[in-house]
Structure 1
Amino acid sequence: MTVDVGSRLRFVRERQGLSQRELSKRAGVTNSTISLIEAGRMNPSIGALKRILDGIPVGLSEFFAIVPEASSRFFYTADELTEIGKGLISYRQVGERVFGKTLQILSETYQPGADTGRVPLMHEGQEGAVVISGRLEVTVEGRVRVLGPGDAYYFESHKPHRFRCVGQEPCRLISACTPPSF
């Protein structure tokens, strides 16, 4: 059985009401370390994980014994989506949390000029989306395409990719990612 340390860490941190920045201060590690672990881009050593968990505080055995709570909810109104992004890109997640889940669905909004960054994103899994409004420039493995309403993308997420809103209006899309990457 594979344990998703990143999602588990995010769940435990959020359950304690801690930001990534606060946990990094408490644990004596960089904020980027916490972010990389939670995004599944870094696997910490047992010693590093113990130091991070001491900042919560929670023991290793308790951390690995946590069983995700099954949600009894099936439906969500627009104002019940969970905001997990800030700034020029809004990521509104369907459901309260994705810990223990294999699929993440997002309602994304990119403000004009918003960009995921010059360094391409790469992670395990697959992702896809349908553009609802506006125009989104999508780059995958160096190939660039501008997508408009009704257009879509789907690719293996380990391929370097980047997103950028082009045009004068915000771009809205509905996306899905497996496994969850936020």
Structure 2
Amino acid sequence: MSGFDVGARLKQLRLKRGLSQRELAKRAGVTNSTISLVEQNSVSPSVSSLKKILDALPVSISEFFAGEEIAQEHIFYRASDLTEIGDGKLSWRLVGARRPNRSMSIIHEHYPPGADTGEDMLEHEGEEGGVIVSGTIELSVNGDSQLLTAGDAYYFDSRLPHRFRNVSDGDCVIVSANNPPSFADGGNHQHHG
């Protein structure tokens, strides 16, 4: 996550909400030491554990990485304009993170070998779908797992527990969308507690 200070950003948001590390840990269902280690940048949280912590604030993943400012509407985005919301191992680059009133998330996802959204299954409001551009991904949704390869696609209710893992020895690239943008939104907090 080149250059982005996850620890300082988490501490800033926690203090802004007047929460102690202990209180945030309790709300998020993680240990006090987890919050402390993340804030010191001693540990890089998986997407699923970072989401648990941010849901407790509540702050969306895109808001966390994009910062507070909302930009004017753009139509075209260069690769360098996309906002990285991944966990340092896997890369999720969000299109239009700062776009006002964004009603969907479009994400360019890159999973190197072994990358995983985390042991905790993701669950959030809405629907999501995507197309595998290259490589292979193991997608587990509600107890059903499939290996998907280039050209394959998926579409499911995001409230079902789900997880993405690259179990191959090559990179996997996916372009996905979800609506409403509850997982990576610009402020519509529709997360499960």
Same fold (TM over 0.5): yes
TM normalised by structure 1 equals 0.68
Contact 1:24–1:34 (Cα < 8 Å) also in 2: no
Q: After the TM superposition, which residues 38-77 of structure 1 pair with which residues of structure 2 at under 5 Å, given as runs? A: 38-39=59-60, 71-77=72-78
2:12 alignment partner, SS class: helix
- Is 2:11 the partner of 1:21? yes
Q: Relative to 1, partners in 2 of residues 1:158 and 1:88: Cα closer, same or farther, differing over 3 Å?
A: same
Aligned pairs for 1:105-116 within 5 A: 105-116=106-117
Using the aligned pairs only, state the percent identity. 41
* 8 Å CA contact 2:90, 2:112 repeated in 1: yes
Partners of 1:161 and 1:99 in 2: how far apart? 28
Shift of 1:98: 5.1
Kept in 2, the 8 Å contact 1:136–1:165? The answer is yes
Distance in structure 1 (CA, Å) of the matches to 2:141 and 2:84: 26
Which residue of structure 1 lines up, in the alignment, with residue 79 of structure 2? 78
Closer/same/farther in 2, CA of residues 170 and 129 from structure 1, 3 Å limit: same
SS in 1 for 2:13: helix
- What residue in structure 1 maps to residue 177 of structure 2? 176
Indicate the RMSD between aligned Cα atoms, in angstroms.
2.3
User: Do the aligned partners of residues 99 and 124 (structure 1) sit closer, same or farther apart at CA in structure 2, a change above 3 Å counting?
Assistant: farther
Please state how far the C-alpha of 1:22 moved relative to its aligned partner.
2.2
2:115 aligned counterpart, secondary structure: coil
Cα displacement string for residues 22-47 of structure 1 (whole angstroms, at most 9, x for unaligned residues): 2214522426476012249xxxxxxx
TM-score (norm 2): 0.64
CA distance in 2, matches of 1:81, 1:100: 17
Q: Which runs of 5+ in 2 are unaligned?
A: 1-7, 29-51, 62-68, 185-193
Instruction: Detail structure 1 runs of 4+ shifted over 3 Å in the superposition.
Output: 31-34, 68-72
Deviation at 1:95, TM superposition (A): 1.2
Q: Which runs of 5+ in 1 are unaligned?
A: 1-17, 41-67
Bigger radius of gyration among the two: 1
Closer, same or farther: CA 149–125 of 1 in aligned 2, 3 Å: same
Amino acid in the other structure paired with 2:14? S
Deviations 1:124-146 (CA, angstroms, capped at 9, x unpaired): 00001101111100001100000
For residue 43 of structure 2, what is the aligned residue in structure 1?
none
Task: State the AA in 2 paired with 1:86.
Answer: D
2:54 to 25, 32, 35: 35
The SS at the match of 1:88 is coil
What is the total number of aligned residue pairs between the two structures? 138
Cα distance in 1 between the residues matched to 2:137 and 2:85: 20
Paired letter, 2:125 = E
State the SS of the aligned residue for 2:128: strand
CA contact (8 A) 2:70 2:98 kept: no
